[in-house]
Amino acid sequence: MNLEAKYFSIIIYSKHGNYKYQLQIALNKKQAERASVNILANNIYLAIITRVEFIDGHKGNLMNKFRRAVMWVGLALIILLLFVSVYGAFIGAERAQSFINRLPLMVYWIAFLLLLIVALSVFRRLVRVPGLLLIHLGCVFILAGSMWASEAGHKLQKKLFGIDKITKGQMEIHEGHSDNRVLDDNMQIKELPFSVELKDFQIEYYKPAYLYVQTRDGQGWKIPVEIGSEFPLGPEFGTVKILRTFENFKVTIEDGNRKIIDDPQPGLNPALEVQITSPQGQVTTKYVFERFGGHTRPEDKLALSYRRVISDYISQLRIIKDERIVAEKDIEVNHPLSFGGYRFYQHSYDAEAGQYTVLMVVSDTGVGVVFAGCWMLCIGVFWHMWLRHIVGFDVGSSFVHITARIKTKNK
């Protein structure tokens, strides 16, 4: 310490390690020369402690009030989120999507995102404890990725970076054909930078299918479809036997004679050929159609219907770019094809003839960020609720204890 100087500065740090104070003390040169070093040091120490405790306590009160405000705002936003979620569940998926993308809720999502970031800044424990850090960062990633993937986010990308992508739309593609046109949600036709070809379309059914037989007085039977099987209908109605099944029933004329065939050409007309034997031994052959039921005559005692339950429908897709096949996949419900920044989902199909498929085209912008956030959230919850108790080790608290021991040893 230079006692000849008229002023000198002392810089100290608060006990929290996040404030810095600088105190300038004016010394009279003659007093400094007469005073002993110990008395001068004690006076300086008392002045510093008094000033630091006053400033630190004042700022501490402000910080506590701010933290309390952050907690109350967070509680209000969470309660509002609960009501929004319940309301969205009752209005249906399409209306809910439109609802959550409106301007008031966009402001809400931004406020929620900013609140999470502020909470990570003012509550140090959220950063020190790994589980809590992952939970809150996961929520930040999910909100940020979802907003970036929204229609407003796509408009912002186009304005800032010139990225013009289709947010969401549909494609209708016939078997053996390719197309790159997408009808978006605003009923505008847009084009992809590549083409999608439908190589083949298949419908799969649960087995077995069933033949339903019903009498005019309401008596009925449910018969599993097995070729060659014969089922008794009682002494009053005889038996029914299943002879053939058809995927695409057609009638052709050859040499003037009518011929029943299962046409391998594209088409969909499922049917059964059944044989009904009356108690008197009279044999009648009937054809039962899945799509065109009700082929009965007034004198018929039995009404027949053929039913199959769809288990899945599959589109064999190819991606063609620069006249080359660059990707290929069989897609089905919940198993999309990803290519070129888009996901292609199996959405619908040609229920009449099975000759075309309807694809849902969705931009995958932000999807990776949302998935990363979901993983962080799940791992954070698992760590904080179970794993740290099983292992008996928490990185955040252990770091604090180690730091405390080091400081004690240094003293």
Question: What pLDDT shows up at residue 16?
Answer: 41
> How does pLDDT run across 242-271, given as a tens digit for each residue?
999 998 888 888 877 888 888 887 777 889
Judged by average pLDDT, the poorest of 7-16, 58-67, 82-91, 366-375 is 7-16
Q: How far is CA 304 from the centre of its chain?
A: 44
Helix (H) and strand (E) counts in the chain? 10, 19
408 to each of 17, 49, 395, how far by Cα in Å?
16, 21, 20
Question: What pLDDT shows up at residue 394?
Answer: 54
H or E element in which residue 62 lies: helix 37-91
Q: What percent of the chain stands above pLDDT 70? A: 79
Q: Which fold has domain 166-204+311-364?
A: Tick-borne Encephalitis virus Glycoprotein; domain 1 (2.60.98)
Helix, strand, coil shares of the chain as percentages rounded to 5? 40, 35, 25
Question: What pLDDT shows up at residue 81?
Answer: 86
Q: Tell me if the pTM is above 0.75.
A: no
| Tokens 């019903």, located at residue | 214
Euclidean distance between the first and the last CA atom of the chain, given in angstroms as a whole number: 23
> How does pLDDT run across 163-219, given as a tens digit for each residue?
889 989 999 999 889 999 999 888 899 999 999 999 988 888 888 899 999 888 888
Q: Give the confidence band of 57 by pLDDT, cuts at 50, 70, 90.
A: low
What's the rounded Cα separation, in Å, for the pair 248 and 293?
15
**ω into 208 cis (within 30 of 0):** yes
**ω into 193 cis (within 30 of 0):** no
Instruction: Extract the tokens encoding 341.
Output: 């920044």
> Which residue ranges make up each domain of the chain?
7-63, 101-156+368-410, 166-204+311-364, 207-308
When mean pLDDT is compared over 17-21, 186-190, 384-388, the highest value belongs to 186-190
What's the rounded Cα separation, in Å, for the pair 81 and 112?
10
